[in-house]
């Protein structure tokens, strides 16, 4: 199902979510069949190849209901407890308007402007510059922001980041990614389980068959060896496909979320400036690869960028310049560490976002200031300047 815009992308994500759920069960059955092959070899390593296939097929039929129940239980656990797991990994916690009035008001303004239900707001105590959205339904949706990001960005840039994450929720990206993570998680779990059980059990598939010098003995031993290779190949293919699904989801959705943020805020320059500040500074210590895939930027690129889950910041900025008319200030340094970035990001309404000091090398607003009709002391909403 091809997606041609922001709204067809939402329908496409729902369709792909159903395919992924079906793919989860299919890959689980492949894993069960591979496990049955290994189990039959462990029980008797003197059978011919065809006998192992037949016995493993019978085992799969017997295990079918149990495998289905197990996969369904995994989905239920992920549905209800994935946020608790993510919070435990990242240290995120809920905040209220009283605790974070600046952040809460910016997110609320964006939601009101489009009639979107307000997601939960979470803070992650980390100097990293990053943010991510999670949730599988309206009551679970949440947006998490690091304290480092709050200090580094001004109101316009923070509003752009919140718009980016809100777009992930609107487009159904967070649902799709959680399902993909569930698929990879269950496949990875069973793959490791099978390998540990088989190789730690002291099984010698060639033990009985190799002791005979007859051609029949060689054939039986060879059958066991071929079955082991087939089972390992099936497990590897299932595990690889589960990872491919995860890697295939991220790149296009980040570009569409950038575009959705501009649609919400009408401020392409703010999105570009936020990306330039976040660039290369988003690593969350202790976070798993699955959590980093949900973030606005994932600096973990993998081998030769082959396994990068996000497009580069340069390519995202070029798209915003080309299609949204934004201006690229180039890579932005944050000299002075947290202290200076904290000064450049006002925490209250006492200073207008446009009044922030210009960086030494010149920021995106220095050469061509934006109109500022809003009075000083107000918190700007997404439509305040338009």
Active site residues: 165
How far apart CA 205 and CA 224 sit, in angstroms, is 6
Start-end of H helices in 153-294: 155-171, 173-200, 207-210, 215-265, 268-278, 289-294
Question: Which phi and psi (to 5°) does residue 287 adopt?
Answer: -80, 140
The dihedral over CA atoms of 130, 136, 140, 146, expressed in degrees to the nearest 10, equals -10
What are residue 123's phi and psi, to 5 degrees? -115, 135
Within 13 Å, how many C-alpha atoms sit on residue 277's CB side?
33
- In order, the DSSP letters of 85-118 are HHHHHH--EE--TTT-HHHHHHHHHHHHHHTPPP
Give the span between the Cα atoms of 275 and 278, in whole angstroms: 5
Which of 286, 284, 305, 306 minimizes the C-alpha distance to 295?
A: 284
Q: Is 327 strand, coil or helix?
A: coil
User: Cα separation of 21 and 66, whole Å?
Assistant: 17
Residue with tokens 């030769």: 304
Burial class of residue 134 in the structure, from the number of CB atoms within 10 Å of its CB (0-12 exposed, 13-18 middle, 19+ buried):
buried
* Angle ∠(283,285,288) on CA atoms, nearest 5: 85
């Amino acid at each position: 199902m091809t997606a041609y815009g922001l709204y067809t992308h939402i329908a496409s994500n729902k369709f792909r979510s159903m395919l992924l759920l079906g793919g989860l069960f299919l890959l689980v059955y492949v894993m069960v069949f591979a496990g049955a092959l290994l189990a039959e070899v462990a029980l008797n390593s003197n059978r011919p190849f065809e006998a192992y296939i037949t016995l493993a097929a019978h085992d799969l039929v017997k295990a079918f209901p149990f495998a289905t129940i197990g996969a369904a239980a995994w989905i239920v656990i992920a549905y209800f407890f994935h946020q608790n797991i993510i919070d435990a990994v990242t240290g995120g916690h809920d905040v209220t308007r009283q605790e974070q009035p600046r952040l809460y008001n910016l997110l609320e303004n964006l939601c009101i402007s489009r009639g979107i239900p307000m997601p939960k707001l979470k803070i992650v105590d980390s100097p990293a510059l990053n943010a991510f959205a999670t949730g599988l339904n309206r009551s679970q949706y949440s947006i998490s922001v690091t304290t480092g990001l709050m200090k580094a960005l001004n109101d316009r840039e923070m509003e752009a980041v919140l718009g980016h994450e809100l777009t992930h929720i609107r487009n159904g990206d967070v649902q799709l990614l959680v399902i993909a993570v569930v698929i990879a998680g269950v496949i990875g779990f069973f793959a490791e389980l099978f390998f540990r059980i088989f190789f730690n059990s002291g099984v010698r598939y060639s033990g009985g068959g190799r002791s005979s010098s007859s051609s029949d003995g060689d054939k039986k031993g060879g059958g066991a060896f071929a079955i082991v290779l087939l089972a390992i190949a099936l497990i590897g293919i299932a595990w690889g496909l589960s990872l491919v699904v995860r890697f295939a989801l991220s790149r296009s959705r980040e570009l569409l979320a950038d575009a959705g943020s501009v649609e919400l805020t009408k401020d392409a320059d703010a999105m570009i400036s936020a990306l330039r500040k976040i660039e290369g500074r988003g690593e969350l210590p202790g976070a798993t690869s699955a959590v980093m895939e949900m973030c606005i930027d994932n600096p973990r690129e993998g081998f030769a960028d082959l396994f990068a889950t996000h497009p580069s910041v340069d390519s995202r900025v070029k798209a915003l310049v080309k299609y949204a008319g934004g201006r690229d200030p180039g890579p932005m340094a944050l000299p002075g560490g947290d202290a200076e970035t904290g000064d450049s990001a006002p925490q209250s309404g006492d200073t207008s976002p446009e009044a922030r000091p210009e960086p030494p090398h010149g920021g995106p607003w220095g050469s061509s200031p934006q109109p500022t009709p809003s009075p000083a002391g107000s918190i700007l909403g997404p439509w305040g300047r338009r």
